[in-house]
Amino acid sequence: MKDKKTDWGLTPLEKLREEMDALDRELSLLLQKRLDLVTRIADYKKENHIQVLDRGREEKVIENVLSVLQNPQYAQCLKLTYEGIMAQSREFQTKRLSSSSTSPKKYALIGEKLSHSLSPRIHSLFFEKAGLNATYNLKEVPRDQLAGLLDRLKEEGYAGINITIPYKTELMSALNFISDEARNIGAVNTILLGEEYRGYNTDYYGFGMALDHHGLSYEGKRCAVLGSGGSSRAVIAFLKDHGASEIHLVTRNPQEAKQKFPDLPCTDIKAFTASGFDLVVNTTPVGMSSHSQASPLTEDQLKGAGAVMDLIYNPKETVLLSYCRALGIPCANGLFMLVAQALCAQEIWQGYKVSPGMIEEIYEELNRS
């Protein structure tokens, strides 16, 4: 049906849109005033060394906005709108703090041998896309130089570091704060170097995000974890916390693994069969670039598995994954987990939430190359 003209020569829809346009101009002016205040707050935070993210304050903002709500039907829409506004405010503050600095913020990966790490590439892409003035370096540290390491790094101007094998547990004693998930896992992979030394484990979240990205289900599922090293701890903790019905540990030395995980059934890897398990996760280094022709399981052992995730990302296609494809088993490598855990670390360092779209974008770029 044709929209009839009003006395002003406009259709009712055009009249409503005209009112909307006028209101949008008013909103734009108000949002600009809000950004003026955001800028002043960013400058104050910089002068007083205050982190950008303040979740308690953000919750109060939402409460304040909803306190004047007149139509309950608008509650969810208004809440999501302001969450978006605050996310943009955090990003604006972070960029201002970074751009106003004459020298770049410094971050690094600490480990024993790091020559093949993709971490600098991932973090450099993040800095580029987020518009941050920052660098990310690889720092190989001998074990005899761990004492006082965090103090030395802070003196050198580092704002945060990642930790990889074999130091994920060694540096915990030097921390002032350890997050719940890191304490439960017994390992940290991310440290914020501020007034306090604060430790986290982003492998935990990265693993879960990778499972969701690849559509590999875990809630109420029977799961088998290959390996009992540092990486297995985050995987086991996540599966426990998110409703896996069973978790079986599969290793070369079940007796030793049982001492680490007394509450889990442990099976010798030579006797293991994946039949009946909904999800099999490889946390061992078997199949990495230096041993790319090896697999922790034979093709026969894999038969009957519901899905497989190999935490190895180099090479992209391990022998284990090639067996899965031959058997028609859904599978994935560890590249998405690597990207997700890296950007979870950036959330801790920068103080704001990284959009899922950026994680996907960086993953796709690395996956293509």
How far is it, in rounded angstroms, from Cα 33 to Cα 14? 29
The C-alpha atoms of residue 30 and residue 23 are separated, in whole angstroms, by: 11
Residue 204, both tokens: 């935990």
The DSSP letter of residue 332 is: E
| Rounded Cα gap, residues 93 and 91, in angstroms | 5
Return the residue matching tokens 């199949």.
287
Q: How many CB atoms lie within 10 A of CB 358?
A: 16
Enumerate the active-site residues.
168
Nearest to 281 by CA among 296, 303, 263: 296
User: Would strands 190-193 and 158-163 be described as parallel, antiparallel, or unpaired?
Assistant: antiparallel
CB atoms within 10 A of CB 106: 17
CA 106-107-110 angle, 5° bins: 135
DSSP 3-state assignment of 305? coil
- 109, 110, 116, 120 alpha-carbon torsion, rounded to 10°: 10
What does the alpha-carbon distance between residue 280 and residue 291 come to, in Å, rounded to a whole number? 20
Closest listed residue to residue 50, CA positions, set 42, 39, 60, 58: 42
Nearest CA to 261 among 233, 282, 226, 240? 233
Q: How far apart are CA 203 and CA 167, in angstroms?
A: 14
267 half-sphere exposure, CB direction, 13 A CA radius: 14
Burial class of 104 by CB neighbour count within 10 A (0 to 12, 13 to 18, 19+) = middle
d(CA 365, CA 343): 15
